[in-house]
Amino acid sequence: MGDRMATQDIAELQRNRAVRWTTILVILVLTLFLTIVACLSVGVVSIPFDQVLAVLFGGGSERDSWIIWNLRLPRVLLAAIVGASLAIAGATMQGLFRNPMASPSIIGISAGAAFGASLAIVLGVSWASGAFAIPAMAFVFSFVTLFLVYAISRDRRGYVPVETLLLAGIAIGSLFNAMVSALQYFAGDRLSGVVFWLMGGLNNATWDQVAISIAPVILGCSLIMILARDLNAIMVGEEQAGNLGINVNQTRMILLVSASLVTAIAVSVSGTIGFVGLIIPHIIRIVVGPDHRILLPASIISGALFLIWTDTLARTIIAPAELPVGIITSLLGAPFFIYLLMSRKKSMGW
């Protein structure tokens, strides 16, 4: 009798949890839709909310249609893709390394991308090879960084210790940052292009960038969410995860490559936008808890929301001029990072 009651209680708890999770995700999706429409209406030329809806459903004036379809919508969608990518990558890294300070840049991916893009700008490759040369170079060097970090960290048995991975990431990231500084020193009249890219921005967003980014981001996010239950187990402890039949090394590699893929895509089209992958997972974890089955999808939507709003602020706060969105995210993220450090200091009795 007692066992049956316990089973019923567990089933009831699971149903309540499923309802709560579904409600949270539905609210986030509706908020995302309303945010997209609201941000499409804001700009140098203001477009009423109802006219934005009319344009999206095939109506509206020719002027409003041109502004929304050619200028604002690709930028808003690219902001959503980049924000979602950085947020899920941050949540994954924090879970993998069991470190609340972890972010997509922790293993040097962003530094590698920055070097690739800076090299393309300084060498003038973008002029010779079209608009995709800079994102392509950033993407390639992101994975060069991942390969170097993984090769350095892997031992003779094929195992990759977390501590070694972190240290290798810091070392390789520092190396690429130093090379970026050297490129800036020799950049000459192309220095402004390098600096602007490093600040992070979406002002050159196009439908081509959206189309190229969406498939690999969906792939990377899907692989990560499929392994959400395994990531929960790894967070408890690698030995316990192994006892549950999880191949910890293989799972970690898949998660790491997937998180690196979405980070590389994001950085290659937007430049280095800081703090999104750090603060969004923390905020969502406070709301929904540490279970990655809800934390990951909620982080995806919330990351998209956050970057859409911050990019809208970046392009309107000093209109008609624009601020790089990386400045806005850093201004918001740095105080939160300090708050995390202070909280960690209190909890550890420093």
- What's residue 312's pLDDT? 96
State which residues form the domain around 67. 42-336
Query: Does some domain include residue 341?
Result: no
- What's residue 207's pLDDT? 94
Q: Is the pLDDT of residue 348 over 80?
A: no
Query: Does some domain include residue 276?
Result: yes
> Which position has the higher pLDDT, 255 or 103?
255
Average pLDDT over residues 154-160: 76
CATH code of the domain covering residue 60: 1.10.3470.10
Q: How far apart are CA 132 and CA 138, in angstroms?
A: 10
Count how many domains the chain has. 1
pTM for the predicted model, two decimal places: 0.90
- What's residue 97's pLDDT? 85
The residues, ordered by sequence, that sit 6+ positions from 90 with a Cβ below 8 Å of its Cβ are 102, 103, 104, 276, 277, 278, 280, 281, 299
Range from 51-65, 100-114, 312-326 carrying the lowest mean pLDDT: 100-114
The residues, ordered by sequence, that sit 6+ positions from 81 with a Cβ below 8 Å of its Cβ are 210, 213, 214, 217, 265, 266, 269, 304
- What's residue 345's pLDDT? 64
Q: What is the pLDDT of residues 117-127, one digit of tens each?
A: 899 888 887 55
- What's residue 319's pLDDT? 81
Q: What angle separates helix 292-316 from helix 228-236, to the nearest 10 degrees?
A: 100
